[in-house]
């Protein structure tokens, strides 16, 4: 059985994705925005895995969910590092 809070989180994540897509031209001004955007997509994929694991392939999707969270966090950390270095005038 699926948990309602996981479904609500997925719905909120999809709403945020729609907001991002509608404001894409403005958000592209953020340095290395593509890394940040892909990091969010991977996080959203993890939320999808969370909901789907209640219905089928529980163990496989649970592993995929946690891998998605780890990859998303690593990508976000890379974006933070790039952003911080560019603020201090260092070009990569």
Q: What is the pLDDT along the chain (92 residues), one digit of tens a residue?
A: 668 888 899 999 999 999 999 999 998 888 889 999 999 999 999 999 999 988 888 899 999 999 999 999 999 999 999 888 876 665 55
Q: CB under 8 Å to 55, separation ≥6 — which residues? A: 2
Signed CA dihedral, 38, 40, 31, 84: sign only:
negative
Residue 30 gets which letter from DSSP?
S
For helices 33-52 and 4-22, the axis angle rounded to 10 degrees is: 150
- By the 8 A CB rule, do 74 and 43 touch? no
pLDDT of 89: 63
pLDDT of 91: 54
User: What's the whole-model pTM score?
Assistant: 0.85
Q: Is 6 exposed, middle or buried (0-12, 13-18, 19+ CB in 10 A)?
A: middle
- Quickly tell me which residue has 């996981």 as its tokens: 6
Domain boundaries, the chain: 4-87
């Amino acid at each position: 059985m699926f948990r309602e809070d996981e479904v609500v989180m997925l719905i909120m994540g999809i709403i945020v994705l729609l907001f991002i897509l509608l404001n894409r031209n403005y958000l592209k001004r953020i340095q290395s925005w593509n890394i940040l955007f892909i990091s969010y997509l991977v996080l959203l994929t993890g939320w999808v895995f969370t909901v789907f694991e209640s219905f089928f392939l529980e163990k496989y999707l649970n592993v995929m969910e946690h891998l998605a969270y780890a990859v998303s966090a690593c990508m976000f950390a890379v974006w933070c590092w790039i952003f911080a270095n560019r603020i201090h005038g260092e070009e990569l």
